[in-house]
Amino acid sequence: MSSPPAHKKIKMLDDENIEGISGCDVLDNEYNRRQLTFKEKQEIILYKEVYYIGKLHVKKLNTDLFPVNNGYDDSSHKYICNMGDHIAFRFKILSKVGGGVFSDVYSAFDFKNSGIVSLKILKNCPKFIRQGKKELNILEIIQEHNVNGEVPIIKFKEYLNFRNHMVFVCELLGPNLWNDMYMSKKLRDNPDKCFSEEKCRLIARQLLEGLQFIHSHKIIHCDLKPENIVTRSSLDSNNIKLIDFGSSMFETTKIITYIQSRYYRAPELIFGQPFDTSIDIWSLGCIVFEMYAGIPLFKAKNETELLRLHINFLGYPPDDYIKTSACKTQFFTSENELHDTTRCFPGSLQFNNFALRKPIYRFINSCLKWKPEDRTTASMGLEDEWFKND
């Protein structure tokens, strides 16, 4: 019997002119069949276009007695990614570039479009799938209004579902701002600083442009922090993009959840008060300080310590602010005094008059106010005196 036609063999990464063929055509080739697990041979039939299948020796499944999701997930319901294996018979997994509680992010080669992308693979749990659908809605709205990529926000390409996991395909960007800041701090002659004021201003302007854009569409990022700000490439650390809308929500459909990383969390979230887009502005002020000073402004281990640091910086909150707090009794007495006044020195961390001669500190001050309505906005921030000489 003659062997199957040569064109039926899936081409590998170093081949050119790759064209997708059907899953049934893949199975016609004995070499290809040997690279597939038993489950993949059943799975691939459903694919009309196959671009990459990977090699059998990299396909390591969860072999526990009671494997999760047919052996594709670990015990925490995260997808088990093996370098060199495929995602959706199209992408070759290259390396892990990030991750968190809800998802992991990998660089991958897209054989369909011949380019490297990032794949964000969410946990296979009902809670995270629900949140993923909300994130998908937000990403699609952002992409619809940012077609040309003029706004510094990550470019979302498409969504797919693979082995019960939501997968977001996005452009691959460079290192995050946290890595860039603290690597810069190590390399500078002055180890007490991260970035020059000029670089801080350049990045802050781009962040304001990104926030102005999403806020105009009533979207709150909800987790603005250095890890969610990435450089466009490893060779271009001055130009950044905003990423990770996994915690984001619309102003009109806010759900009270545990949002914002602690160092960058706005006081209204500690107090259990209503919040809006101004929580992103608070986070921005914290980030600008950290970029310039080389340390987080509110480095707290818990919310009690965080509130104490806020008070040390801003002074005591107004009485009406405390009275309207849903969490008043957790932190304050009936006389609006803190239960625990250890290391509490109201206003002691405020910028002095000498520091406030510098526009950068005045800008940070405009972001950090007890009441959201007293903070600057993204649009107002772009008109701040600090940016006048850009």
**Along the 390 residues of the chain, how does pLDDT read in single tens digits?**
444 444 445 554 344 334 789 999 999 999 999 999 999 999 999 999 999 999 999 988 777 777 899 999 999 999 999 999 999 999 999 999 998 889 999 999 999 999 999 999 999 999 999 999 999 999 999 999 999 999 999 999 999 999 999 999 999 999 999 998 887 666 555 566 678 999 999 999 999 999 999 999 999 999 999 999 999 887 677 899 999 999 999 998 876 667 899 999 999 999 999 999 999 999 999 999 999 999 999 999 999 999 999 999 999 999 989 988 888 889 988 888 888 888 889 989 888 888 889 999 999 999 999 999 999 999 999 999 999 866
Of 176, 204, 209, 199, the closest CA to residue 367 belongs to: 204
In the residue annotation, 223 being an active-site residue is answered as: yes
* CA angle centred on 334, ends 333 and 337, rounded to 5°: 40
pLDDT at 168: 98
Residue 109 near residue 86, CB atoms below 8 Å: no
Domains 6-171 and 177-387 share a fold: yes
Model pTM score: 0.91
CATH topology of domain 6-171: Transferase(Phosphotransferase); domain 1 (1.10.510)
Alpha-carbon span 213 to 219, nearest angstrom: 9
Per CATH, domain 177-387 is 1.10.510.10 = yes
Strand partners, 99: 104
Q: Domain boundaries in the chain?
A: 6-171, 177-387
3-state secondary structure of 229: strand
What pLDDT is recorded for position 47?
Answer: 96
Catalytic-labelled residue, pool 223, 244, 280, 384: 223
Predicted local distance difference test score (pLDDT) of residue 3:
46
Rg (Cα) of the chain, in Å, rounded? 25
The reported pLDDT for the residue numbered 189 is: 55
